[in-house]
């Protein structure tokens, strides 16, 4: 081939193409720490299995025995509801984002990209796998500890078990295990976070902090609070219907607002001529973003609840919320579209693409991460909105789950508002708990937005 | 027909009434004194819009890929290019040279209707392409761009795989043949195949600058255009990568008509068969000064300003 000749001559001088990131000192330190912790964890795991027997660790956490007041051991107590499957689902859910897609990807692309990246991923797996098993164990232990307290509270055969007992005084490895769990686990979570964020362009402490924070919140949380319906008594009340109502409404809101908002942004950025009409639309959108949310509520009350006869349903709430967040979605989607450099559009036009092909194949895919980020941020605003939903008449006492979009519903802020407004102190406490749950959901959504923004960013 | 358009009509130029030197005596006869004496500072004054640009005779009988007739380009009220008439010979490399801001890139972007994308941009005149005026609004700009490809100043591969970068144009244009072969063929022609054949699923952005630019050339070739426009294709590259692009241009000229804008005199001298020299006056309106075979332009410029520019005296 004639073209090969000049290339062959020049190969010796060709600029070296950087194939993969060099291993930095920081990365090596992290890797060493990670390996150390892995070994510690694995060792502790072997001890656990040797002492307690594999059967107890890898079945559900039901084998709780409680020392009764007369000194006899009461075993075979009924296990807390849902503990068996949850004790595995939770650690695996934490584990999967770290290794799942990555291992699949490395198997699929390993041939092309070479071995080192596979090794890197296997190392990640080696770190998180023991962590997941330990999460499982800890979950079982803390559930059991909680269950003992529960048994004491409801006075099952005069139960007097204590938490330390569950960590196995008899085994003699208590101190070792407590140190590992007290120091090793937070450290492991920190490393997991570092490992993960190292894959992004900017390593940050955000993810480790969120992981550890979530873990601590989880440890102190009463799981029944999440899975109970509202009740007359504060001790029996939960936010199950409020949480599900919130997610139900948010899903429909996003399904309505995201396509419409992105469509409007694409029209304004890619198609509309720059004239007085498009400028007027632009100004109006900016103004709509500043309208008080109660106004949207009144609009929703008249349009969706009364004229369209949606009644006080999830659908009416979702439509109102969609109107409320649409300006935010449009503006952020426009910003995302503007980050796609004109040279990309030109490149696509230059090979004979039509305007729609340019938008469909290039502009939209490149801007999609940014649009999704804006959507999540808009949703995190909507999730905390109360006023418009009060205006359209969302209920506060819902002791069932909505089956269809036309059912009655409640959401977390309204539930909190209702509890705070009650005179009993117990309701104030569960209101505070609900606020924490809402805050955690909000933080997670914002974190997801930040992560997504980092991961989808392209250096042009 | 093409030759007629090409013949020089110096007599119609008011500022150069002297008889044009014949081809045989051109190498020895000095250019007309009144042109040589034109001071550099007074360029804008001397550039009368009615002034015909100096053109050399074509030394070969050749078909024209494009013919520009009095092409003017405007951005809103600002005129960037004024009445440029120029032939683009088929299967040859034509270089557009001139100082910054003289309208070279604008003129190039007129050739495949790229200026349509800029709000307020407008083109007047006529660009003959296969018996049609491609500036005509009834001509489909998308079709024009498919048949007249473009490579940009800064390498701009899509943030997709190398394979997808090349295949995209063919795919949207309804290519139904063997895509793998098309991609391989385009990459081979762009002299990139040997370097990337094992990593076609790697992102185009992961390549080096020179490789990226060759990928862009492969992308332009893959839709099988007749003409390839290159807007300073090597200006963002190092000398080694530049040399590769230049070699590539020479090879591509066997099958394609190439129009290249360049700031680099040596590059124009090395790669092009024909050269057009553009210059903007004080009012920043670009006009054609001289057009002819590159050899002639570089060794025997007929216009004083061309000589000054080529020898680096101004610009």
pLDDT averaged over consecutive 10-residue blocks of chain A (460 residues)? 40 39 55 64 58 44 47 49 51 55 44 46 60 63 56 48 40 46 58 55 54 60 69 78 87 92 93 89 91 90 87 88 93 92 90 90 88 89 87 76 77 88 85 85 82 71
Does some domain include residue A225?
Answer: no
**Residue B151: predicted pLDDT:** 92
SS (H, E, C) chain B: CHHHHHCCCHHHCCCCCCCCCCCCCCCCCCCCHHHHCCCHHHHHHHCCCCCCCEECCCCCCCCEEEEEEEEEEEECCEEEEEEEEEEEECCCEEEEECCCCCCHHHHHHHHCCHHHHCCCEEEEEEEEECCEECCCCCCCHHHHHHHEEEECCCCCCCCCEHHHHHHHHHHHCCCCCCHHHHHHHHHHHCCCHHHHCCCCCCEHHHCCHHHHHHHHHHHHHHCCCCEEEEECCCCCCCHHHHHHHHHHHHHHCCCCEEEEECCCHHHHHHHCCEEEEEEECCCCCEEEEEEEEHHHHHHCCCCHHHHHHHCCCCC
Total residues belonging to chain B: 315
**Residue B292: predicted pLDDT:** 86
Does some domain include residue A1?
Answer: no
Greatest CA span in chain B, whole angstroms? Answer: 63
DSSP string, A176-212: HHHHIIIIIHHHHHHHHHHHHHHHSSS--SHHHHHHH
Q: Which of A218, A257, A204 is nearest to A377 (CA)?
A: A257
Dihedral in degrees, nearest 10, Cα atoms A319, A325, A326, A332: -160
**Residue B191: predicted pLDDT:** 84
Q: Would an 8 Å CB–CB cutoff place B271 in contact with chain A? A: no
Q: Which residues of A touch B198 (CB under 8 A)?
A: 112
Residue A216 and residue A253 in one domain:
no
The pLDDT of B39-54, averaged and rounded, is: 40
Domain housing A121: 25-220
d(CA A253, CA A325) in angstroms, rounded, equals 9
d(CA A313, CA A311) in angstroms, rounded, equals 5
Locate A427 and state its tokens: 């309701």
Contact criterion met (CB < 8 Å) for B172 and A10: no
Does some domain include residue A8?
Answer: no
Q: Which of B158, B202, B243 sits opposite A344 (nearest CB)?
A: B158
Interface mutation target, options B120, B142, B218, B231, chain A, most CBs of A under 10 Å: B142
**Residue A47: predicted pLDDT:** 58
**Residue B233: predicted pLDDT:** 87
- pLDDT at residue B23 greater than cutoff 50: no
Q: Would an 8 Å CB–CB cutoff place B140 in contact with chain A? A: no
Q: Which of A13, A348, A458 sits opposite B159 (nearest CB)?
A: A458
> How many domains is chain A built from?
2
Contact criterion met (CB < 8 Å) for B142 and A353: yes
The answer to whether A312 touches A392, Cβ cutoff 8 Å, is yes
Q: Which of A17, A344, A351 sits opposite B149 (nearest CB)?
A: A351
Q: Which residue has the higher pLDDT, A223 or B210?
A: B210
**Residue A5: predicted pLDDT:** 41
Residue A428 and residue A282 in one domain:
yes
* Domain boundary residue, one of A220, A249, A278: A220
Q: Which of A322, A268, A261 is nearest to A296 (CA)?
A: A322
Contact criterion met (CB < 8 Å) for A273 and B119: yes
Residue A208 and residue A251 in one domain:
no
d(CA B52, CA A273) in angstroms, rounded, equals 38
Contact criterion met (CB < 8 Å) for B195 and A7: yes
How does strand B227-231 pair with strand B257-261? parallel
Contact criterion met (CB < 8 Å) for B156 and A346: yes
The pLDDT of B214-231, averaged and rounded, is: 91
Q: Would an 8 Å CB–CB cutoff place B142 in contact with chain A? A: yes
Q: Which residues of A touch B195 (CB under 8 A)?
A: 7
Helices of type H across A274-392: 276-288, 293-300, 314-338, 342-350, 355-358, 364-382, 387-392
Locate A94 and state its tokens: 């934490």
Q: Which residues of B touch A13 (CB under 8 A)?
A: 240
State how far residue A233 is from chain B, nearest Cα, in angstroms: 58
Does some domain include residue A400?
Answer: yes
Locate B207 and state its tokens: 């390549």
Q: Which of B142, B156, B207 sits opposite A347 (nearest CB)?
A: B156
Residue A139 and residue A184 in one domain:
yes
DSSP string, A417-449: HHHHTSS-HHHHHHHHHHHHHHHHHHHHHHHHH
**Residue A120: predicted pLDDT:** 56
**Residue A427: predicted pLDDT:** 85
d(CA A75, CA A161) in angstroms, rounded, equals 11
- pLDDT at residue B86 greater than cutoff 60: yes
Q: Would an 8 Å CB–CB cutoff place A109 in contact with chain B? A: yes
Residue A69 and residue A177 in one domain:
yes
Does some domain include residue A131?
Answer: yes
Residue A309 and residue A391 in one domain:
yes
Q: How far apart are the first and last CA of chain A?
A: 33
Neighbours of A260 (CB within 10 A): 15
Residue A304 and residue A167 in one domain:
no
The answer to whether B120 touches B73, Cβ cutoff 8 Å, is no
* Integer CA distances (angstroms), A351 to A339, B148, B224, B228, in order: 22, 8, 10, 11
Helix crossing, A240-266 with A314-338: angle to 10°? Answer: 40
Between positions 147 and 206 of A, the ones with CB within 8 A of B are none
Residue A36 and residue A165 in one domain:
yes
State how far residue A20 is from chain B, nearest Cα, in angstroms: 10
Non-local CB neighbours of B57 within 8 Å, separated by 6+ positions: B6, B7, B8, B23, B292
Contact criterion met (CB < 8 Å) for A109 and B201: yes
Q: Which residues of A touch B142 (CB under 8 A)?
A: 352-354
* CATH for A291: 1.10.3720.10
The answer to whether B115 touches B121, Cβ cutoff 8 Å, is yes
Does some domain include residue A83?
Answer: yes
Neighbours of B305 (CB within 10 A): 24
State how far residue B202 is from chain A, nearest Cα, in angstroms: 9
**Residue A258: predicted pLDDT:** 93
**Residue A422: predicted pLDDT:** 87
Does some domain include residue A196?
Answer: yes
Q: Which residue has the higher pLDDT, B43 or B107?
A: B107
Residue A308 and residue A394 in one domain:
yes
The backbone torsions φ and ψ at residue B36, rounded to the nearest 5 degrees and listed phi first, read: -60, -30
Contact criterion met (CB < 8 Å) for A346 and B202: no
* Integer CA distances (angstroms), A388 to A164, A312, A374, A398, in order: 49, 12, 21, 18
The 3-state DSSP class for residue A451 equals helix
The answer to whether B201 touches B162, Cβ cutoff 8 Å, is yes
- pLDDT at residue B54 greater than cutoff 80: no
Q: Would an 8 Å CB–CB cutoff place A429 in contact with chain B? A: no
Interface mutation target, options A9, A270, A278, A351, chain B, most CBs of B under 10 Å: A351
**Residue B260: predicted pLDDT:** 93
The 3-state DSSP class for residue A16 equals coil
What beta strand segments (E) does A93-244 contain? none
- Residue range B44-310, CATH number: 3.40.50.300
**Residue B238: predicted pLDDT:** 84
- pLDDT at residue B230 greater than cutoff 80: yes
**Residue A1: predicted pLDDT:** 40
Interface mutation target, options B117, B163, B189, chain A, most CBs of A under 10 Å: B117
- Closest chain B CA to residue A17: B208
Contact criterion met (CB < 8 Å) for A352 and B173: yes
Residue A80 and residue A188 in one domain:
yes
Dihedral in degrees, nearest 10, Cα atoms A449, A454, A455, A459: 140
- pLDDT at residue B4 greater than cutoff 50: no
Dihedral in degrees, nearest 10, Cα atoms B95, B100, B101, B103: 0
Does some domain include residue A14?
Answer: no
- Closest chain A CA to residue B188: A3
Residue A260 and residue A387 in one domain:
yes
Q: Which of A102, A93, A100 is nearest to A214 (CA)?
A: A93
Non-local CB neighbours of B209 within 8 Å, separated by 6+ positions: A15, B155, B236, B237, B238, B241
State how far residue B204 is from chain A, nearest Cα, in angstroms: 11
Burial string for B101-134 (b: 16+ CB within 10 Å, else e) reads: ebbbbbbbbbbbbbbbbeeebebebbbbbeeeeb
Q: Which of A10, A17, A350 sits opposite B150 (nearest CB)?
A: A350
Between positions 203 and 222 of B, the ones with CB within 8 A of A are 205-211, 216, 219-220, 222
């Amino acid at each position: 081939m004639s073209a090969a000749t000049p290339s062959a001559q020049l190969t010796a001088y060709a600029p070296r193409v950087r194939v993969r990131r060099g291993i930095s000192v920081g990365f090596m330190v992290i890797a060493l720490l990670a390996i150390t912790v892995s070994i510690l964890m694995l060792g502790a795991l072997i001890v656990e299995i040797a002492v307690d027997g594999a059967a107890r660790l890898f079945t559900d956490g039901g084998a709780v025995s409680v020392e009764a007041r007369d000194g006899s051991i009461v075993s075979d107590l009924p296990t807390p509801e849902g503990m068996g499957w949850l004790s595995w689902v939770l650690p695996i859910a934490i584990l999967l984002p770290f290794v799942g897609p990555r291992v699949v990807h490395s198997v699929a692309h390993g041939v092309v990209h070479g071995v080192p990246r596979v090794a890197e991923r296997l190392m990640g797996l080696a770190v998180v796998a023991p962590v997941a098993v330990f999460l499982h164990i800890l979950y079982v232990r803390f559930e059991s500890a909680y269950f003992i307290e529960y048994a004491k509270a409801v006075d099952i055969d005069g139960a007097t078990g204590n938490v330390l007992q569950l960590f196995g005084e008899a085994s003699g490895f208590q101190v070792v295990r407590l140190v590992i769990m007290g120091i090793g686990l937070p450290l492991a979570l920190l490393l997991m976070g570092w490992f993960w964020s190292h894959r992004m362009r900017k390593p940050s402490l955000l993810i480790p902090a969120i992981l550890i924070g979530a873990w601590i919140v989880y440890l102190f949380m009463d799981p029944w609070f999440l899975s109970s319906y509202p009740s007359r008594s504060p001790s029996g009340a939960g936010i199950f219907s409020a949480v599900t109502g919130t997610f139900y409404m948010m899903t429909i809101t996003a399904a309505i607002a995201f396509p419409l908002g992105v469509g409007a942004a694409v029209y304004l950025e890619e198609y509309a001529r720059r004239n007085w009409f498009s400028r007027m639309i632009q100004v109006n959108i900016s103004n709509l973003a500043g309208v008080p949310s109660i106004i949207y509520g009144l609009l929703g009350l008249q349009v969706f609840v009364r004229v369209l006869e949606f009644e006080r349903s999830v659908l009416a709430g979702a439509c109102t919320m969609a109107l409320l967040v649409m300006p935010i979605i449009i503006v952020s989607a426009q910003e995302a579209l503007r980050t796609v450099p004109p040279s990309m559009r030109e490149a696509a036009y230059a090979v004979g693409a039509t305007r729609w092909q340019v938008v469909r194949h290039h502009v939209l895919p490149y801007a999609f991460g940014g649009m999704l980020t804006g959507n999540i941020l808009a949703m995190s605003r909507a999730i905390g909105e109360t006023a418009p939903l009060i205006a359209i008449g969302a209920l506060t006492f819902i002791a069932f789950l909505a089956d269809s979009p036309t059912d009655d519903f409640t959401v977390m802020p309204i539930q909190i508002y209702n509890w705070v407004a009650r005179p009993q102190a117990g309701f104030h406490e569960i209101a505070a708990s609900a606020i924490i749950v809402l805050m955690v959901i909000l933080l997670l959504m914002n974190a997801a937005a930040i992560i997504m923004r980092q991961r989808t960013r392209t250096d042009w | 027909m093409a030759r007629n358009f090409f013949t020089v009509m110096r007599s119609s130029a008011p500022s150069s009434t002297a008889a044009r030197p014949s081809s045989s005596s051109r190498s020895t006869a000095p250019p007309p004194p009144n042109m040589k004496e034109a001071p550099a500072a007074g360029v804008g004054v001397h550039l009368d819009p009615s002034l015909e640009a100096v053109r050399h005779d074509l030394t070969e009988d050749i078909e024209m890929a494009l013919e520009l007739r009095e092409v003017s380009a405007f951005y809103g009220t600002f005129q960037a290019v004024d009445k440029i008439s120029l032939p683009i010979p088929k299967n040859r490399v034509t270089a557009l040279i001139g100082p910054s801001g003289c309208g070279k890139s604008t003129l190039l972007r007129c050739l495949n209707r790229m200026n349509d994308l800029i709000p307020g941009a407008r083109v007047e005149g006529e660009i003959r392409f296969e018996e049609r005026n491609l500036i005509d609004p009834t001509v489909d700009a998308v079709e024009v761009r498919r048949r007249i490809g473009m490579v940009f100043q800064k390498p701009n591969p899509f943030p997709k795989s190398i394979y997808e970068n090349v295949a995209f144009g063919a795919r949207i244009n309804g290519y139904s043949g063997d895509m793998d072969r098309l991609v391989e063929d385009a990459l081979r022609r762009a002299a990139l195949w040997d370097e990337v054949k094992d990593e076609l699923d790697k992102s185009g952005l992961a390549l080096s600058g020179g490789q990226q630019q060759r990928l862009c050339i492969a992308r332009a070739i893959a839709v099988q255009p007749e003409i390839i426009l290159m807007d300073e294709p090597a200006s963002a590259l190092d000398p080694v990568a530049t040399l590769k692009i230049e070699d590539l241009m020479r090879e591509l000229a066997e099958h394609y008509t190439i129009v290249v804008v360049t700031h680099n005199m040596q590059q124009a001298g090395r790669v092009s068969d024909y050269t057009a020299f553009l210059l903007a006056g004080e009012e920043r309106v670009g006009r054609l000064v001289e057009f002819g075979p590159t050899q002639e332009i570089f060794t025997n410029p007929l216009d004083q300003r061309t000589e000054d520019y080529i020898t680096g005296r101004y610009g």
